Amino acid sequence: MIKKIINNKILNGCPVETVAGAALVISIAGIVSRVLGLVRDRILASQFGAGDVLDVYYAAFRIPDLIYNLLVVGALSAAFIPVFTHLVAGKKKEEAIILSSGVITLLAASIAAISLVLVIFAPFVIKLITPGFSPEKMREVVDFTRIMFLSPLFLGISAVFGGILVSYKRFLVYSLAPIMYNAGIIFGALVFVHFWGPIGLAWGVVLGAFFHMLIQYPAAKKVGFKYSFSLAKSICDKNVRKVLALMIPRSLGMAVNQINLLIITIFASTLAAGSLAVFNFANNIQSVPLGLFGISFAVAAFPHLSSATGKENQQEFVRIFSRTFRRIIFFVIPMSVFIFVLRAEIVRAILGGGQFDWEDTVKTLNVLGILSISLFAQSLIPLLARSFYAICDTKIPFYVALVSEAVNILLVILLIRDFQIMSLAIAFSISGILNMLLLIFVLRKKVGYLDDRKIISSFFKIGFSSLVAGVVIQLTRYYLGNFISLDTLAEVLFQIIISGSVGVAVFLLSCYYFGIEEFYDFKKSIWMKIFGIPSEQRID
């Protein structure tokens, strides 16, 4: 029975043809993954606190992540999926299979070669990105980093499998991979650390990357993937060369984004111990809605945007872009307001306890408050970037990212003396908003009309409704403060649930009052998923 379910429902799962349906699948799996991510952070915080061990752990991610983002994310999101999708749509499945094998071969060879070189020279590289760490702390970062170099190899192969599944609109298994990644890291924190000490955290990352790859392979094989090794053939294949040509500007754009994280690491290493851990904890919390809605909707819309471009249907492209844009802000803007108002309770509920003391909590909630202000912009950037990729323009996102990063670095330099760790959050948020605005401006110039009136109208209506809900949440918090002391986790959760529920109710009522289209789409989708009938046909 279990084998039948796996084969029929998971491996042979029907493609999800609508953006909303695909986003729902990705979001549901994303919720599980993000919950596991928060569990992971709570385990790390309670075991080690915001101190030297977690500074080492997060610093060790930087170089392996740089390799992954340059060689893998650039190739897959900007280049492989559009080319692979066009081949499948053009009934050229054999060419698509050859393309996927070729990309895996080149990615694996490149990652292995670069990782080997960096393993050898890790002490010199780490000294550049953690100049404020002590020699002992720096040696620990080197040890962690050398182990973590295995993860880009597994994640690179897994990303090709994921690109195949996204192109075939098989989003379920694709969405389960991050869950397995977090499960591996949690296993490392709970089991490997018990036997090997803090270095077990690094082996947990490797295990998670391996699980990420392992779960996607059977589904990719089911839709036709078959690997064949030929380095020369891979280099000569015209479609592989097309992917390489498209990925170079995107990889440069990803390099700029990774420079942002490197800058954070460099400056955080010069601040008090635990500063890097504090920033990463806050960023992980605010990344939950970013992943659930910003990235999931962008990933779901990407093949549809690419298909519309391939068919030269600009009207369909604009329709998909506008609806996806408005759906993202419908979810993300109110969540950013809720996070800002309830940031103290959220940090205490997720991270409080064990070695994570009140001082760590205050630092994290302050950083989280600043990051939440730019959450709407961070959530729209994946859609905007993929809109450029869909029209085979990978240069503009790179140029925009370059300008935004220059602003980010300048702001950190100007603010760090007076604002310390807060300067990193302020610069991060301002540069993120600038990135979004520039992408919208240039996309409008290239594509033309983007359904501007609807987007602007929805933005202001949703924004106003969110602010009203935020005020109500704050008033509810003050009222509940007369009855509960917030000394226990149960009381903190009660505060979050009651205040948040009241805020959600007020937000939805306000959306109903203003006739926000995304609210009615959401309501209709909920009734369809629960009862299988449109909301207007339901029986009260």
State the average pLDDT over residues 394-404: 87
pLDDT over threshold 50, residue 281: yes
> Residues 258-273: pLDDT tens digits?
777 788 888 988 888 8
517: Cα within 13 Å, side-chain hemisphere = 15
- Whether 162 contacts 174, CB under 8 Å: yes
State the average pLDDT over residues 340-367: 90
| Range of 235-239, 424-428, 533-537 with top mean pLDDT | 424-428
Q: What's the pLDDT at 525?
A: 65
> Residues 122-174: pLDDT tens digits?
999 999 999 989 999 999 999 999 999 999 999 989 988 988 888 777 778 88
Q: What's the pLDDT at 59?
A: 93
Number of other residues whose CB lies within 10 A of the CB of residue 364: 31
> Residues 419-446: pLDDT tens digits?
989 999 999 999 999 999 999 999 998 8
State the average pLDDT over residues 230-237: 69
Q: What's the pLDDT at 278?
A: 93
CB within 8 Å of 505: residues ≥ 6 apart: none
Angle at 139 between CA 133 and CA 144, to 5 degrees: 105
Q: What's the pLDDT at 213?
A: 94
Kindly report the pTM of this predicted structure: 0.78
Q: What's the pLDDT at 32?
A: 84
> Residues 72-120: pLDDT tens digits?
775 565 678 778 877 877 777 788 888 888 888 888 888 999 999 999 9
| Range of 153-167, 455-469, 475-489 with top mean pLDDT | 455-469
Number of other residues whose CB lies within 10 A of the CB of residue 497: 11
pLDDT band at 16 (very low <50, low <70, confident <90, very high): low
What CA–CA distance (Å, rounded) separates 265 from 54?
12
Question: Mean of the per-residue pLDDT values for the chain?
Answer: 85
Number of other residues whose CB lies within 10 A of the CB of residue 478: 9
Q: Which of 16-20, 46-50, 93-97, 470-474 has the lowest mean pLDDT?
A: 16-20
pLDDT over threshold 60, residue 10: no
The residues spanned by each domain of the chain are 9-450
pLDDT over threshold 90, residue 188: yes
